[in-house]
Chain A
Amino acid sequence: MTPQGLPRSTIDSQVMWARLISVVEEQAQALLRTAFGSVVREAGDLSAGVYNVQGEMLAQAVTGTPGHVNTMAMAVSHFLERFPLRSMKPGDVFVTNDPWMGTGHLFDYVMVTPAFRGDQVVAFFASTCHVTDVGGRGFTADANSIYEEGVLIPHMRIRSQDVVNDELLAIIAGNSRNPIEVIGDIRSLISCNDAGIKRFDGMMLEFGLENLDSLSAHILESSTCAMQDAIRAVPDGIYATQMTLDGYETPITLKARLTVDGERAVLDYHGSSGASRYGINSPKCYTDAYSAFGLKCIVAPDVPNNAGSLACFEVQAEPGSCVDPRHPAPVTARHVIGQMLPDIVFGCLAQALPAKVPAESAGSIWVLAMSDLAASGAPRFNVMNVGLGGVGAGPGRDGLSTTAFPSGVGTIPVEVTETESPLIFHRKELLPDSGGPGTQRGGLSQIIEVGHTGSEGFAVSAATWDRLVYPARGRAGGSDGQSGAAYLGSGTRLEGKQTHRVPAGDTLVVELPGGGGFGDPKERTPEEIEADLEAGYVTAAGAEKAYRGA
C-alpha cells in the first residue's frame, strides 16, 4: 500500500514544477513587453530564470536565447560569493554586466532579485537583456581591451530595500549614447523580476511552502537522472574534432575532445587558438553555455535546462585561449566564437551518433550595427539589425533557411528599421545555391542590400561576420554551405570584423553563409531536386554542379 501522503506529494511536486516554469515565463513576457531596445523587443534577445538559495538554476523561461540562459545559470552564484544571504533585504536588487561573471559581454545587464519568505531568502529571480549602448566603441570588435569596450558595473545593489540607486543610474546614463533607452531597459529588468516574485509569493502561499528545499531537490535530482540516462545512451569513447574560423587578425582554430564515460561527458578545448587581440573572444561562461546547448540538442532535447541537467557536462579550456580569455581581453562580439561551439560539439558527437547529428550552420549571427558617420553632421542614428544565414541539414530533413542557430533571436522587420533610421533596404531575399548540397540540403542564406535615403554615407560594424572564408561544413558526405560575402554595391569587397564606411550613394551588400548539406548529394531524390529548381532554391547551373556531378 502506498501511504496516503505520498502520492499527493508526488503530484504536488509535479504541479509546483510546472508552476515555477510558468512563473519565469511570466517574468520573461513582462520584460519582452516593456523593453526598449529593438534587438530585445523584436528579436527576443533576453532571458529569465529562478534559482534556489545556493544559486542553482531551477527553471528558465521558454522565451529567450540559449547564450543568455545558460550563462545566467552561473551568474547568481557569483553574487552569492560577494553578498552573503544574511546581508540581503527585501526590496534589494543586484546588478552586474561583468562579462566573466554575467553573460559574456558588457551589453548584457544581469539583474538578480532575492525572494523572501519572512526575513529568509527562499529563491532568486534573475533576468538579462541586451542593452543597446553602454559607452565604449559601440557594437564593434575593434577594441583591444575591455577598457575600450564600455563601462563595467561590478556586482552591486541597484536597489536597496526598494530605493533605486540613482547615482548608479546617472553613471550609466552619463556613459550612454542613448540614455533614455538604456535606463528604460534597466527599469524593465528590475520590474520583470518583481513580477516574477509576486507570482512566486502566491505559489508559496498556495502550497504552504516555507522554503524551496524539497522542490528544488526534486527538480534537480529528476533532471540530473534524466540527463545522466541520456548521456549513458551515448557510446563511451573519446571523440575529437576541430574547426577553423575566419577570426579577426588571423584564422582561429577550435579544437575539441569530447570524453563520454558512463553518465559523464567532458569537453576539452585544449589546443584551441589563443585569445584574439580583438573583441571576438568568448568568456568561459559563454563557452560553457553554448557547449552545453549543443550537447543537449542532440542527446536530451526534452530534459529541462537547469543546474541539475547542466551539471552532468563539464567544459575545460586553457586560460588565455579564445574560449577562456582572461580580463582585460576584449569580448564584445563574443558570439563569433561562442555561437560556433554547438557545431564543434556536433562534430564530436557525429562520431558517436552518426545518425542523429546535423551538418554545420551559419553559426554566428551577423549583427548589422549601422550608424551615421559622426563627422558628417548628418542626422544621427544607431540601429542594430541582424542577418541570419542557413541552418545545417540533418538526417531526414533539409536545413531551415534564414534562421538563427544556435541563437534564438529572430529578424527585425525592414519597415521597422526604415522607420527608425534614414536607411533603405534594396534587397532582402533568399540566396539561391547557398545551401550546401546533400541528400538533405543545407538551409539557404539571404542577400541583404542597404543604402542611405539621403545624400550621406553610413558606418557598419562587421564585428560578428564570420564564415566569409571558412564555410559551414557538410556532414556524412554532404557538401559545404556557401561562404558568406560582403561588398559595396560598387564592387569593393569588405572583410569581416572591422568597421566599414559605406560612402554616400553606395550600398552595403551582405551574403550570409548557407547551412551545410547532409549525406551524399547523389542520393538526393530527383523529385526533391526538381522541387528546389522550381522554387529557385537551386539554379540550373547550381543543380548541375552539385547533384549531377558535372
Chain B
Amino acid sequence: MVKPTCRIAVDIGGTFTDVVLWCGTRQTTLKILTTADAPERGVIDGVRQVLDEAGRSAAEVQLLIHGTTLATNALIERKGAKTALLTSQGFRDILEMGYEKRFAHYDLNATRAAPLVPRSLRFTVPERVAADGRTVTPLDEQAVRSAVDEMVQAGVQAVAVGFLHAFAHPAHEQAAGAVISDRLPDATVCLSSDVCPEMREYERFSTTCANAYVRPLMSGYLSRLQALLKGEGFECPLYLMMSSGGLTTIDQAIRYPVRLIESGPAGGAIMTAELAVGRGMNKALAFDMGGTTAKICLIDDGEPDRSPAFEVARVYRDMKGSGLPVRIPVIDMVEIGAGGGSIARLDAMKRISVGPDSAGSTPGPVAYGLGGTAPTVTDADLVLGKLNPDRFAGGRIALDADSAKGSLRQVIGEPLDLSDHWPAAGVSEIVEENMANAARVHAVERGKTVSDYTMVAFGGAAPLHAARLAEKLGMHRVVVPPGAGVGSAIGFLQAPVAFQVVRSLRLVLDGVDLEALNAMLAQMSDEVSGVVAAATDDEELLEHRQVELRYLGQGHELAIPLPAHALDPSSLNDLRASFEAVYQRVYGLIMSDSPVECVSWSVTCATRTAPAERIDPPRRQRQVQSERLRPIYDAGAGTMVEAVLFGLDELAAGDWLQGPALVEEDETATFIPSYWTAVLDDGQALVLERRPAHGRGETL
C-alpha cells in the first residue's frame, strides 16, 4: 500500500477541537472552540481551515482520523438513548446494586451513580445457565416477546441483554437477541456476551448498557459526519480513535461505541510512545495537564500500559467507585482533578487543598477577570511568575496578577499567616504533590518504579509544573514535545489500526485442555484479524496475545504475554515461570506451593505502524543568554529566583540554556528551575535535565 501523503486528525475535547494536518513532512495545526450542539460542524470548519492554510484540497487527503468525547459526555450528562435491560429472572437489580459499597466511609450524604437503565426499564425472563454451562432453566422466548412488547410501549430505543454466565455460555443471550431484533428491527440490541464476554455480572452488564446507551447517538453522529465529509469532497476512509490507542472503522465504532470513550487522552499516550521510541527512551511517563485534569500514563519500550477496565462519569471526581465501571481495553492512565483551573482552599485542619473541582473557562481563574473569585492553580502560577500576563493563550486573555494575589492572600495566606508569594507557593506545591502521589500510587499498583522514567509533558499547564513534579518523583529528565498543545491529535496520526477481544476462561495451569484452549485462541485470532484486515489494504498485521494469571484464590491478576501460535505443554511451564518472575518483581515474593490460575485471555491484532522518526540525543552547541529577567518561585530551591526569559521560537536545535529560566510559547511555557538545563533537540523538543542530587524532592 502506498503511504498516504496527506492525513488529518481531529480531536474533539470539552473546550477545544484540535486539528492536525500532515502533508508529507509539513504539519499544520489548529485549535478552535468545540461546537457542542453539533460537533460535526466544528470538524468540518476545522478541516476546511487547515486545508486552506496548507493550500490542499479534500481530495488529496488519504486518511481522516477522529477522536471525540461525545460518548463520554453522553454518559456524564445522561443524554443517551432510552435503554432497556433484559436480564435473568431473579436478578433485575444487579445494575443498580453495583458493588453495594460506600466509596466514602465518613460521608453520609454520598450518593452512587444512578444506573443508566432505571428499574422500570429492566425486564427479567425465565432462563438460567449454571457456572459449568449446564442449562438450569431454558430460555422462555414467549416471556422475551412479552418483555419486548412492554419495551415498545415504553418507547425504548436501545436494548441491552445481560444473562448470568453468558460470558462463557452465550446461547440464551443470542436467542433472546434474535427475538428482540425480530420484533424491534429499528432498535439497537447489545449482548453482554458480545460487548464484554468477561466474568463478574455487574461490570459486564454495566459495560453492555453503556454501549447500548450511547450507540444510537454515536451512530447518528458518525453517519452525519461521514455524509458531510463526502459533501466536502473527502473520498478517503474515516477511522476512529479508540480508548485502547488503536484505530477502527466506522462500522466497528458504531458496533462498540463504548470503546471510543476517553480516546483523546489515549492519543496523547500514543504520541508520547512514538516520541519515546524515536529518542530511544525505554521508559516514558506521559504527563498531560490541561484546565481541568491531569493525566499520567506509563510507557515501557514504546508500549503504553493497558488496562481491561476503567470507570466513567464519576459522581465525585478522584473518588474510585463513584462512577460506572466499563470493561473495555483502555490505555491505562490515572486522571486526577488537578489542572490550571483547579480551585484552592483550606480544609478543616487548615490544610491547603486543591481541586478536584475546576473553575473551568467560565468564570475561570480569578486572573481572567471574568468573575471568578476562587483562587486556582493558574492564579498561583501567575503570582509565582510562571505566566506572562500579556502572552497567556497567545495573548487572547489578559491576566490580572493583583486580583489573583489578593484572592490567594485572603483564602490561603491570612488563615495560615503566610504573606507575599507564599500562599501561591503552597498551592503550587500541593497540586504538584497531589500529582506526584497519584503518579507514585499508579506506578506501584503496576509494579513499577516511577523514578526510572523520563517525563514527557504536554497540555497547556504541564510544562509549567513538569520539572517540579519530576523532582518529587526522583526523575532527572523531562521532554516537552513540539506542538504540545495538540499532542493528542498528533498521536492519532501515529496510531495503528487495531482491535482486541478478551474472553474469560478460568483454567488452572496444571490441568489445561490444550486442544480446547488453542481452538478458542485461534477463533479469537480470526475475529480480530478479520476486523483489522477489513479496514486496511494488505498491510502487514501484528498479533499480540496475553493471559491474565494469578495464584488460585487471589482476586487480582498479572498480564503475561503468550506466543502468537498454538500452545504446547512447554509453553505452560514457561507461563508459570514468567508469571512468577513478574510476581516477584511486583510483590517481592512468590508462592511456589500455590497453583496458578488463568483468568482471561486477550488477542490483539494491529497494523505495523511506520517506524518512529529517529532523533539523535540532543547536542549542546550554543549556550544562549537573554537580557530579559523575571522573578519566579523555584520550589526546589525554596525561594524566588531571577529567571531568564526566552521565546521558544528564538531557539534553534542545539541551543541550550541554564535554569532558572522560562521558555514561552503561545499555548504554554516551560519552567526550567535552578540546577536544571534545557536543550532543543533535532526534533524540536525541549529536553530538560537535572544535575543529579540537586533540588529537594530526591527520592530513591
Contact = CB atoms under 8 A, between A and B. Distances in A.
A453 B593 CA distance: 30
A428 B101 contact: no
A453 B700 CA distance: 54
Nearest to B100: A411
B96 A430 contact: yes
A36 B553 contact: yes
A41 interface: yes
A413 B418 contact: no
Interface residues of B, number: 78
Contacts of B93: 402, 428-430, 446
A92 interface: no
Interface string A20-36: 00100110011011111
A410 B348 CA distance: 29
Contacts of A358: 108
B433 A408 contact: no
Interface in A380-430: 388, 394, 396-397, 400-405, 408-411, 413-416, 418-419, 424-430
Interface in A418-476: 418-419, 424-430, 446, 449, 453
Nearest to A194: B588
Nearest to A394: B108
A183 to B, nearest CB: 8
B530 interface: no
B100 A410 contact: yes
Interface of B, secondary structure class, is: loop
B570 interface: no
A11 B425 contact: yes
A460 to B, nearest CB: 19
A347 interface: no
A25 B101 contact: no
B199 interface: yes
A177 B165 CA distance: 29
Interface string B348-371: 111110000000000000000000
Contacts of B119: 430, 535-537
B655 to A, nearest CB: 32
Contacts of B347: 302
B96 A401 contact: yes
Contact of A206 (B92, B418, B555, B699): B699
B190 to A, nearest CB: 19
Given A36-B553, A358-B108, A415-B164, A400 B102 contact: yes
A15 B352 CA distance: 9
A397 B199 contact: no
Interface string B67-105: 000000000000000000000001111101101111001
Which residue among B352, B555, B591, B593 has the maximum number of chain A CB atoms within 10 Å of its CB? B555
Contacts of A37: 553
A397 B109 contact: yes
B696 interface: yes
Nearest to A537: B119
Contacts of A14: 351-352, 426, 429-430
Interface string A28-71: 01101111111011111000000000000000000001100000
Given A206-B698, A404-B100, A427-B90, A415 B348 contact: no
Interface in A339-396: 358, 388, 394, 396
Interface stretch (A148-156, A195-203, A477-485, A521-529): A195-203
A396 B110 CA distance: 12
A125 to B, nearest CB: 14
Interface string A161-198: 00000000000000000001101100110010011000
A187 B588 CA distance: 10
Contact of B587 (A191, A199, A206, A302): A191
Interface in A215-251: 222-223, 225-226, 229-230
A80 interface: no
B25 interface: no
B417 interface: yes
B586 to A, nearest CB: 8
A261 interface: no
Contacts of B594: 180, 184
Nearest to B417: A2
B136 interface: yes
Contact of A428 (B94, B350, B422, B433): B94
Contacts of A404: 100-102
A205 interface: yes
A449 B90 CA distance: 9
Contact of B440 (A22, A42, A411): A22
A386 to B, nearest CB: 8
Contact of B445 (A33, A36, A199, A298): A33
Contacts of B696: 206-207
Contacts of B92: 429-430
A188 to B, nearest CB: 8
A370 B53 CA distance: 71
B551 A36 contact: yes
Contacts of B96: 401, 430
A226 B118 CA distance: 41
Contacts of B131: 415, 418-419, 424
13 contacts: A8-B638, A11-B352, A41-B556, A187-B591, A205-B700, A206-B472, A222-B350, A223-B349, A226-B349, A302-B106, A401-B96, A425-B90, A430-B119
Interface of A: 2, 4, 7-8, 10-11, 14-15, 17-19, 22, 25-26, 29-30, 32-38, 40-44, 65-66, 180-181, 183-184, 187-188, 191, 194-195, 199, 201-203, 205-207, 222-223, 225-226, 229-230, 293, 296-298, 300-305, 358, 388, 394, 396-397, 400-405, 408-411, 413-416, 418-419, 424-430, 446, 449, 453, 534-537
Given A11-B425, A428-B93, 6 more contacts: A25-B441, A35-B555, A187-B589, A187-B591, A298-B108, A415-B164
Identify the 10 closest CB pairs spanning chains A and B, nearest first: A41-B555, A410-B101, A427-B90, A22-B437, A411-B100, A301-B106, A535-B119, A33-B556, A7-B422, A36-B553
